[in-house]
Chains A and B, each alone.
Chain A
Amino acid sequence: MTPYWSSLFGGMLLGVSAVLLMLLNGRVAGISGMVGRLVQGQNLAANAAFVLGLVSGPMLYWAWFGQPPVVTISASWPVILISGFLVGFGTRMGSGCTSGHGIIGLARFSKRSLAATLTFLTFGIAAATIWGAVS
């Protein structure tokens, strides 16, 4: 499968997951929100079940395709630490991440999610492009 088809099918599965969670459980598939609530002990069992499923995803991929998904990390440890902190702080402050705002929010035509998605895409492109040029 070319990267375009696998990206499209993989993306559609993200949509399927988000729709199932909404229509059956009435919950937004927002990862930063679910993890944040999990850490705070809210709706513990269901959030833990989703996270458990999420973690099993690469294993299912491995079982299906006979090889693990490629994960290449080029960032140094200090950059990873800073990046992780910014992602954690920013997603809580901005009430969502790529999943909650980028998938369900956009699909609901939410003004807030559209603004959030355009903002994190813009700043993500700026950070990756500038960092790629100087490092």
Chain B
Amino acid sequence: MNQEAALRLLVALAAGAIFGFGLSLSGMVDPARVVGFLDIASGQWDPSLMFVLGGAVLVAVPGMLLQRRLARPVFDMAFHLPGNGPVDRQLIAGSAVFGVGWGLSGFCPGPAISALSLGLPEVFLFVAAMLVGMLIHDRGLIVHRRQTA
């Protein structure tokens, strides 16, 4: 492994740890807090999680403005960014399906994976079901592509 690849691994590990710590500190890791935020008719609505997204975007906006002025990242040849395609049915339908799942349990992918280290059986169950959902989607697409190709 060359030095740049090793540094990329170190950055990924550190970024993951900061992200995981931030999820714990912010309360996003607690499904009860997330449901308390999403359930607006419970009579005890908890708006604090709005500050999570607000704080994250507040920091990320100047970071991404800086990114636009750079030719390449520090430890790689190019930025790996998704294309700026149109808003299509797949994006909206997928996001709607995700939203329903998120609202039912209060878990989204980051907090669920992060909470694995706490050893709760419900978290393992959620992550297993999530991986199955991902695999079924990705496999379905491969079959679909083969049919249309």
Chain A residues with a Cβ under 8 A of chain B: 3-4, 6-29, 31-32, 35-36, 39-40, 45-47, 49-61, 64, 68-75, 77, 79-95, 97-99, 101-104, 106-108, 110-112, 115-117, 119-129, 131-133
Closest Cβ–Cβ distance, residue A63 to chain B (whole Å): 10
Q: B101, A11: Cβ atoms under 8 Å?
A: no
Q: A84, B130: Cβ atoms under 8 Å?
A: yes
Interface string of B9-45 (1 = CB under 8 A from A): 1111111111111111111111111010011111000
B side interface size, CB within 8 A: 113
Closest Cβ–Cβ distance, residue B17 to chain A (whole Å): 4
Cβ contact of B16, chosen from A49, A119, A129, cutoff 8 A? A49
| 26 interchain pairs, CB-CB under 8 A | A11-B55, A11-B56, A16-B18, A16-B59, A20-B15, A23-B73, A24-B11, A27-B80, A53-B15, A54-B23, A55-B20, A57-B24, A69-B24, A79-B105, A81-B129, A82-B129, A84-B126, A86-B104, A88-B101, A94-B94, A101-B95, A102-B56, A112-B91, A123-B98, A123-B100, A127-B100
Please give, as numbers and ranges, the residues of chain A lying within 8 Å of B97 by CB-CB distance: 86, 89-90, 93-94, 123
Chain B residues with a Cβ under 8 A of chain A: 5, 7-33, 35, 38-42, 46, 48-61, 63-64, 66-67, 70, 72-76, 78-82, 84-87, 90-110, 112-118, 120, 122-123, 125-138
Q: A12, B55: Cβ atoms under 8 Å?
A: yes
Q: A61, B13: Cβ atoms under 8 Å?
A: no
Q: Main SS of chain B's interface residues?
A: helix
Known: A6-B25, A26-B79. A59 touches B117 (CB 8 A): yes
Q: A95, B35: Cβ atoms under 8 Å?
A: no
Cβ contact of A71, chosen from B42, B49, B86, B120, cutoff 8 A? B120
Please give, as numbers and ranges, the residues of chain A lying within 8 Å of B50 by CB-CB distance: 7
Q: A26, B20: Cβ atoms under 8 Å?
A: no
Q: Main SS of chain A's interface residues?
A: helix
Known: A6-B25, A19-B64, A55-B114. A14 touches B101 (CB 8 A): no
